[in-house]
Structure 1
């Protein structure tokens, strides 16, 4: 096995977020309010199945144990089930996750499970169908809810729900969300709205801190869980009276980056050391065949030594990321 991925600040990296497309069929106000707009008019050239195999093999050889398949909307790929199977076949990868808007789950989540998917996150920004439509631009609330039920039927012990906190839109729904997870094994993760290059005005209008939710949880007997090595950035709280859990992702907290354990590869084969702030390192020229594996690993490890100590969001910097779909959120 190659040397464990570690940066110059002694942070170790066990978790790869692998984007397989930047196309999405939703029009969420905080990400793609005008819908997906290709960067150029040529047909996008996303990573092939063979390239996905090679890049995940390289990360697995360096100690990565968890891969999250992201987008855009990853299930828009016709070969999405094959992608899951390819990632799950890598020795050392123990968690294969995806983040989806849920619109194809009811029909396909059983086959994803059989292909090797172990964890699933679904974006649900409101439990009010009208507000769901207002935020996502799509009238698919009931289809997504059916998909979540199908995930439990398929054998997932827990489903994670991602909810982007939006002041004056869904920020008043905490009681409804808490009621929803009381008898369901759902980890509901509230994510603070993050400022990207294309949404300055929306950020200033709708950003709200997760601190008030955390204070409410602690005051009402919720307790903080201990993290595993390959867990994501959420602070997860549990309560003896609830089957579900609450996660808070608060990237504007000062020490958010201290526990960073994840790297990103975009759908076009660039390594991103952070969701914010840099252009990406080209990997695709080393994904053509298996003979370049050692060079690929060397490039990843060398690039990691340039990773900054923080994303500096708490200092008001937004970086170069145009929207969250562009490199997999």
Structure 2
């Protein structure tokens, strides 16, 4: 069995920027492809990476902010009609993600909204999101089969909500959300401001263990999930940069409650005992704001393993390594 990690996009903000695609990663496990988050441009990045939609097995969403889900419609709709070598229709693409929260967060102090979008269901979960995507594209899904040899759209996708605690700050043991021959996927709730639930994922294959932090602050749930992993793919922000560029007071505090500062992420990796730390979901997202070498240098603080500043299109063939040399400090770019 072989396992390969591909970073499809590494930007850490909803606003598009030149030079970095929206956040998305792919894990190829023995020719099956699993996508983690579907940010801007992820279907095109999927193809540019030489991946085959016929091998797309499942999508895992860390949370439902638009920068992580904006191109989920394309990831689901574009493969419709793709067939395997034996010409049979593909099985449904499975989409795993957070369940619907109990209520709309109010904030502290309470946030006064002039408008609540879709008040009858203001905080949909993953199943709700997928149902609404299919409803929004009903014209395409109902009419296209009249002009093309398309399979039943009812077999296009299957969404699965992952049950999570009511509070992201609550201590939680990892729960298994997917398991078959050669792969087990576990999840845990992490802290990302008012985005409740937000999830991190752990993929255990025969070759290695990879953890995707999603968007989170440093927290014990993530460290529990990542303990002993070979690779930790972690989102980062430079809060000092944001402060120098206009974020002050409550705005800066909110950002600190959403993301892990780059100078803290090495400590997370050290506490989890991982071998390799790969940085992604950069904030600021513009490549010219902070060079990758500087991201890697800051991210390596407090960590003795390898630190890599990820970039769009980065590929890593993953295997377990036990060499003592592998634990020497090596900030890469």
Report the TM-score, using the length of structure 1 for normalisation: 0.38
As a proportion of its length, which structure holds more helix?
1
Report the TM-score, using the length of structure 2 for normalisation: 0.38
Greater relative contact order (CA < 8 Å, ≥ 6 in sequence) = 1
